[in-house]
Amino acid sequence: ADYTGALRPQIHYSPPRGFMNDPNGMFVDAEGVYHLYYQYNPTDTVAGNQHWGHATSRNLYTWENQPIAIYPGAEGEAIFSGSSVIDVNNTSGFFPNQTNGVVAFYTLNTAEEQTQDVAYSTDGGYTFTKYVNNPVISINSTQFRDPKVIWYPLTQQWVMVVAYAQEFTIGFFTSPNLTTWTHASNFSRHGLLGLQYECPNLLQMPMLSNVSIENPLGESNVASSDMFILYISINPGAPLGGSIGEYFPGTFNGTHFSPVDQAARIADFGKDNYAAQFFYGIPATSPQISIAWASNWQYTQVVPTGQLEGFRSAMSLPRYNALANTTRGDYTLVSLPYDLSPLYSSTSSLANSSALANSSLLYDYSSTAPSGAVTFNMSITSIPLANVTGTANFTFMSSVTGESIRGGFFLGGDTPFWIDRGYIRGFENPFFTDKFSTNSLIDTDTQTFRLQVVIDRSILEVFLENGLRSATTTFFAEGMLDTLVISTRELNPGVQVSAEVFGLNSAWT
């Protein structure tokens, strides 16, 4: 496949051609190979004709495209979203002679019904056989989909969450053997409802002891906990329009989920992060790894990558996740990029605080990062932080067309942070919202505002305050962005600013 196009992400997963939406079936095997399946239309650049596409990786950035894993059968069938598990102990009976059997759960979509179906793989997840007694759950509904299965050790049972989409309900089912499922409870009408609940995830989450330190997801700072999250995607009807993810921290006893409170916690303050899924097979004591679809149903089928480069949609960065309690809210999902260091091609020397305070620095990365993929970190420190004023902005621009995508802090008070993709010209659409914002969480321990940005040709992801806030934003420029400008203005005396930039190698060459 050709991954050289000017809009083609170089460190994010995108399909070789055709249309992709939700990540599906994600698991890591005993050899450390991550398997990503995805909603895939191999024959057109719009949604429809859903298969499960497949790719594998050892580092979550360098992907190898694999043959399509699950095909629709009869005319009019589609293989909708779902999940997979490794049935090490052969609870299903599909795997008499092996410990690496994979069982996939998907929604079979037809005009008459959505049912939950099973397929199993004896070759580690490359090829699948549909279970002869499908469906495994059928309730005579056309709006019942997206099964996600986990193992719950305390009851020695499998647990499935699945969406009764238009009833704003997540159903919990249990099973001893992956094919016989018993309804256990419902979680209904919590948080933002939008017009449908889709793609639920249930998982145990570790907690961070201190979210303010340099590497908060480092091993010594991550403690196992009894907390779970229920993560729900809603579409359409998100606050900014279209698709969004929200999550509920709470406890789970094997049959019932109890949220800690009634708050709606939004996972990402951009508009291009939907249907996130968490990998099966990551120990509950470690940061959990997720990937989301970096798009939005409001405009995904008309973005210019389709006409120009023959594919639509990419996945978000793989993210590490854990929960943290903060002064502004308990059980906040902390998300940071999975280890990017294998891709580093260069380091710059922007880390000079005296040069960065109240000035602008321009960094042309056209030669150090010809991939167009760059990550940079910035931190702003002042004692006490509460007194800081001024602005700290970044601009990625094209030296050829003058287009740019920008963001920054208004320091002081609630310290709003904004992103603006409105100076990019390659895609005009009324739903392609220009501006996004959030408030920062003042980090009273380290007296620091932190920002990490990853840009990759047509995707920008920002992580604030060590991942307490994050946003995924696509953009479709006419010219390749090649220059980063960092500028700070009207900072009060004593404010320290530091920044580092790393060029990233393409993972597709």
**How big, in percent rounded to 5, are the helix, strand and coil portions of the chain?**
5, 50, 45
Q: Known catalytic residue: 456?
A: no
Query: Under the criterion CB under 6 A, does residue 465 sit at the interface with ligand FRU?
Result: no
What's the min distance (Å) between Cβ of 393 and ligand FRU?
A: 34
The one-letter amino acid code at 81 reads S
Q: Closest by alpha carbon to 303, among 434, 284, 286, 311?
A: 311
Q: Cβ(81)–Cβ(107) under 8 Å?
A: yes
Q: What is the distance between the alpha carbons of residues 155 and 492, in angstroms, rounded to a whole number?
A: 57
Pick from 51, 145, 312, 450: which binds ligand FRU (CB under 6 A)? 145
Query: Under the criterion CB under 6 A, does residue 26 sit at the interface with ligand FRU?
Result: no
| Site map 170..199 versus ligand FRU, x via CB under 6 A | ----------------------------xx
Q: Cβ(380)–Cβ(495) under 8 Å?
A: yes
Q: What is the distance between the alpha carbons of residues 397 and 450, in angstroms, rounded to a whole number?
A: 22
Query: Under the criterion CB under 6 A, does residue 80 sit at the interface with ligand FRU?
Result: yes
Give the list of residues 6+ apart from residue 479 with CB closer than 8 angstroms, or none. Answer: 398, 400, 401, 402, 403
By C-beta, is 234 or 504 nearer to ligand FRU? Answer: 234
| Site map 103..122 versus ligand FRU, x via CB under 6 A | ----x---------------
By C-beta, is 78 or 462 nearer to ligand FRU? Answer: 78
Which of these is catalytic: 87, 198, 268, 456? 198
Phi, psi of 48 (to 5 degrees): 135, 165
By C-beta, is 199 or 294 nearer to ligand FRU? Answer: 199
DSSP per residue over 399-454, as a string? TTT--EEEEEEEESTT-EEEEEEEE--S---TTS--EEEEEPPP-TTTTEEEEEEE
CB atoms within 10 A of CB 21: 25
Residues 259-318 that bind ligand FRU (CB under 6 A): 275
Which of these is catalytic: 22, 309, 420, 482? 22
Q: What is the distance between the alpha carbons of residues 360 and 382, in angstroms, rounded to a whole number?
A: 19
By C-beta, is 39 or 348 nearer to ligand FRU? Answer: 39
Query: Under the criterion CB under 6 A, does residue 246 sit at the interface with ligand FRU?
Result: no
By C-beta, is 146 or 482 nearer to ligand FRU? Answer: 146
Q: Known catalytic residue: 219?
A: no
Query: Under the criterion CB under 6 A, does residue 22 sit at the interface with ligand FRU?
Result: yes
Q: What is the distance between the alpha carbons of residues 24 and 147, in angstroms, rounded to a whole number?
A: 10
What's the min distance (Å) between Cβ of 21 and ligand FRU?
A: 5
Pick from 45, 50, 121, 326: which binds ligand FRU (CB under 6 A)? 50
Pick from 15, 28, 37, 39: which binds ligand FRU (CB under 6 A)? 39
Is residue 111 helix, strand or coil?
coil
Which residues carry out catalysis?
22, 198
Q: By the criterion CB under 6 A, which residues form the site for ligand FRU?
A: 21-22, 39, 50, 80-81, 107, 145-146, 198-199, 275
